[in-house]
Amino acid sequence: MSSEESEPVKTICPYCGVGCGIQVDQGEDPGDVQFRPWGEAPVNEGRICIKGGAATQVVNHEDRLTDPLIKEDGEFREATWEEAYGRVVDELERIREENGPDAMGFFGSSKTMNEENYLLQKLARRYGTNNVDNCTRMCHASTVYALRKSLGAGAMTNSMADLEEAADVFWIQGANPGEQHPIANSQYFRQAVLEGATVIQVDPHANKTTRSFQIDETDRHMHLQLEPGTDIPLLNIVLKTVLENDWVDEEFIKSRTEGFDHLLETLEDFDKEAAAEECGVPLEDIELAAEKYAKANNAAIFTGMGMSQHTCGVDNVQNEINLALATGNLGRPGTGVNPLRGQNNVQGTSDVGAMPNVLPGYQPVDDDEARESVEEVWGFEVPDEPGLTNVEISHEAGDSIKGLYIMGENPVMSEPDANRVAERLQDLEFTVVQDIFMTETAEYADVILPATTWAERGGTVTNTDRRVQRMRGVDKVHENTKHDLEIVSEVGRRLFGEDGGFDFEDPEDVFEELREVCPIYYGMTYDALGEEGLHWPCYEEGDEGDPFLYEDSFDTESGRGHIEGVRHQPPKETPDEEYPLILTTARLEEHYNTGTMSRRSPRLHNQHPENFVDIHPNDAERYGVEDGDYVRISSRRGEIEVKAQVTEDIKEGVIWTTPHFAAASGNVLTNDVLDERAKIPEYKAAAAEIEVS
């Protein structure tokens, strides 16, 4: 059958959390896999950004892993699946026998689907450990923590469609949708702006979002260009201004919230002038932004990794929640606190329980009732103590952790202090990696299991606004690769026997079991998801799902939204004589996280073939840096060499780089100190030095 005659497969873009629908067409040769727009796709109606349009370029890339590999005497050799499975099962059994189950760590990934992550976390728990985590830890663990604690659900409160229709003000703090969520920005946000909505951007870096709405060139929109790590004082100025002017929603506070007095106490002696100085933003600008937000009919907060990736990440997001609750901007269309998620299944990976402290549906592992209800379906006991998070696992690698099972993750580039991670992986007794390419992490593996790509398999993913959508696959390009689900099922069958809970026919079969143990997904079936998908929570079959949350009450114990005043906590590293600059990091539109796929996509790679650093003209002059010079950036953890881009986009005293490039990843420099509660690392502020190479 020629490609003209074939029926394209409707699926979801594998990159960011917007969840755009695309079609994939396969020609007579299985390797001829092409992108086709999907005009009626529910989220994007056929529109596509550069990453989505280039997504099929990696499917038949020459670097694809095509056969299992086993390392012998430091070199990989091809192996049969029988040999590879045998080695994995033998090593997992040996490690458990010699050290106990908590000597293994399991990493799921938001690059893989709900069914695959569900099965991996079940494998970890059947093995006897809660040491299972996923990359959400790195991006929004603090956001999820704060939202769950104070509102009920660790997810966007609203959906993109209601935000576009009803929001008058978009308060975007620490997020850059113009770069990282291009279709949300160009379709939903732009439409709202065309109809009169105002954008208030809070970010140390002027970026594509700033330019896409000409924020710096209008009186209507505002860009508050703050110092990295001063989000709490900035929001406290906003809150105090709201209180001083009586712009609070008294009725909402009285009937639907708790803790307002704590906020009043926290702000009683708060000095707005001193705080504005600390933020590096004129006080009157912050007061004007406060007025715009508080006086809007409906104001929506969007929050990104500029907020979450701090040691005070939970408190950063709590302060956004404080603002929304104090002004009554929750529980109706066009409002809320909305984390923009970075990967196509970053919401779902946590929803299905690939986390050390919760089971599917965010049910705590140490809640006896919840755990027992899951155990009843699974037929085995689950450990009742939360396990280690992924950064804790890599800190422990070689000590209490002896082995790692990694599905689709690349911690050697994604975790902070990347050189330390690489060293630690060498101390492990056994590492197995399932992936599509020889990643920087796979180089350290003992066994590599070649997986199929996003375009070759089916399942479900959950995009940033809680919409669960189906992905569908074309035929395999390489015969000897396997779907992640097949691999985890087979490892489970070999470890625990045919009746051990890993005997599934296909992704739908797994999804049916997932529904049983995940109340927020219970009402969904593959048929009900159809082509439109459904927003969770969806408790009963026939439910249409909830595009926005908390219309009548919050999902907290009291049913009230929780307000809690917070105070400024500076980053753990601040500039000093040795490292006089603040380094911050962020991603580019054309690349995807650790670049495993996007660096192999010619269309994307050609846009940005190497890393660079943004530096302010005054700093450039001070350090003798000319635009285009190669410079060495160093921190207490390592150094990289990159090209300098001299620009007023960045504040004086701050430098900005990216984590995408193996030859010079920003994560060599970042600090692996964690937020105590959410265990997210402080990627967004580290002390650094720069010199011309």
- Number of Cα atoms under 13 Å in the Cβ half of residue 627: 6
Inter-CA distances, 239 with 102, 220, 226, Å: 45, 21, 16
Determine the distance from the C-alpha atom of residue 656 to the mean position of all C-alpha atoms in its chain, rounded to a whole number: 20
Is 139 a binding residue for ligand SF4 by CB under 6 A? The answer is no
49 counts as binding ligand SF4 under rule CB under 6 A: yes
Question: Min. distance of Cβ 48 from ligand SF4 in angstroms?
Answer: 5
Q: Residue 12's Cα: distance from chain center in Å?
A: 17
Q: Six-digit token pair at 598? A: 């996007």
Residue whose CB is less far from ligand SF4, 49 or 433: 49
Q: Is 12 helix (H, G, I), strand (E, B) or coil?
A: strand
**Rounded Cα distance, 615 and 631, in Å:** 11
Nearer to ligand SF4, 327 or 453 (CB): 453
Contact flag: residue 16 with ligand SF4 (CB under 6 A): yes
User: Cβ distance 248 to 326 under 8 Å?
Assistant: yes
73 contacts: CB under 8 Å, gap ≥ 6: none
> Taking contact as CB under 6 A, which single stretch among the options 46-54, 146-154, 220-228, 634-642 is the one that binds ligand SF4?
46-54
Quick one: which segment of 18-26, 86-94, 377-385, 630-638 binds ligand SF4 (CB under 6 A)?
Answer: 18-26
Residue number with CB closer to ligand SF4 (51 or 560):
51
Q: Is 213 a residue that touches ligand SF4 (CB under 6 A)? A: no
444 closest CA partner among 459, 462, 464, 422 = 422
CB of 464 to ligand SF4, least distance (A): 9
Does the footprint of ligand SF4 cover residue 20 (CB under 6 A)? yes
Q: Are the C-beta atoms of 561 and 258 separated by less than 8 Å?
A: yes
Nearest to 61 by CA among 484, 412, 435, 405: 435
Euclidean distance between CA atoms 653 and 616, whole angstroms: 7
Interface with ligand SF4, residue 466, by CB under 6 A: no
| CB 126 to ligand SF4: min, Å | 33
For residues 44 and 236, which CB has a smaller minimum distance to ligand SF4 in the complex? 44
Q: Are 147 and 315 spatial neighbours (Cβ–Cβ below 8 Å)?
A: no
In the complex, which residue's CB is closest to ligand SF4? 52
461 forms part of the interface with ligand SF4 (CB under 6 A): no
Stretch of 23-31, 45-53, 260-268, 345-353 contacting ligand SF4, by CB under 6 A: 45-53
Nearer to ligand SF4, 181 or 310 (CB): 181
Give the shortest CB-187-to-ligand SF4 separation in angstroms: 9
Name the segment binding ligand SF4 (CB under 6 A); options: 175-183, 199-207, 250-258, 578-586.
175-183
Give the tokens for residue 476.
């395999």
Q: Is 538 in the site for ligand SF4 (CB under 6 A)?
A: no
Rg (CA), the chain: 24
Minimum CB distance to ligand SF4 smaller for 182 or for 450: 182
- Name the one range near ligand SF4 by CB under 6 A: 43-51, 152-160, 272-280, 416-424: 43-51
Sole residue written with tokens 């909402």 = 252
Stretch that binds ligand SF4, among 44-52, 93-101, 169-177, 354-362 (CB under 6 A): 44-52
The DSSP annotation for 438-477 comes to: --TTGGG-SEEEEBPPGGG--EEEE-TTSEEEEE-----S
Q: Taking CB under 6 A as the criterion, which residues in 51-90 touch ligand SF4? A: 51-52
**13 versus 447: smaller Cβ distance to ligand SF4:** 13
State yes or no: residue 468 binds ligand SF4 (CB under 6 A): no
Q: Please, which residue, 49 or 326, has the CB nearer to ligand SF4? A: 49
- Number of CB atoms found within 10 A of residue 364's CB: 14
Q: How far is CA 235 from CA 316, 335, 453, 688, in A?
A: 9, 17, 42, 27
Residue closer to ligand SF4 (CB basis): 142 or 187: 187
Binding residue count for ligand SF4, defined by CB under 6 A? 14
13 touches ligand SF4 (CB under 6 A): yes
21 binds ligand SF4 (CB under 6 A): no
Query: CB 15 → ligand SF4: shortest distance, Å?
Result: 4
Residue type, 203: D
Cβ-based nearer residue to ligand SF4, 44 or 57: 44
C-alpha span between 575 and 597 (Å, rounded): 35
In the complex with ligand SF4, the residue whose CB is nearer, 16 or 520, is 16
Residue 344 Cβ vs ligand SF4, minimum distance, rounded to whole Å = 6
Minimum CB separation from ligand SF4 for residue 398, in Å? Answer: 36
Sheet with strand 9-12: strands edge to edge: 9-12, 21-26, 33-37
Task: Point out which span in 15-23, 226-234, 526-534, 643-651 binds ligand SF4 (CB under 6 A).
Answer: 15-23
**Residue from 202, 205, 139 nearest 170 by CA:** 202
**By CB under 6 A, residue 182 contacts ligand SF4:** yes
CB 387 within 8 A of CB 131: yes
Closer to ligand SF4 by CB, 125 or 467: give it.
467
C-alpha distance from residue 222 to each of 176, 188, 287, 292, 444 (Å): 14, 19, 11, 10, 47
Residue 175 touches ligand SF4, criterion: CB under 6 A: no
User: Largest Cα–Cα distance in the chain?
Assistant: 74
How near is the Cβ of 647 to ligand SF4 at its closest, in Å? 25
Cα gap 61→456, rounded to integer Å: 14
454 binds ligand SF4 (CB under 6 A): no
409/105 Cα distance (integer angstroms)? 13
Q: Does position 301 bind ligand SF4 by CB under 6 A?
A: no
Residue 181 or residue 205: which is nearer to ligand SF4 going by CB? 181
Q: CB of residue 14 vs ligand SF4: minimum separation in angstroms?
A: 8
Q: Does 608 bind ligand SF4 (CB under 6 A)?
A: no
Report the distance separating Cα 657 and Cα 583, nearest Å. 8
Binding site for ligand SF4 (CB under 6 A): 13, 15-16, 18-20, 44, 48-49, 51-52, 181-183
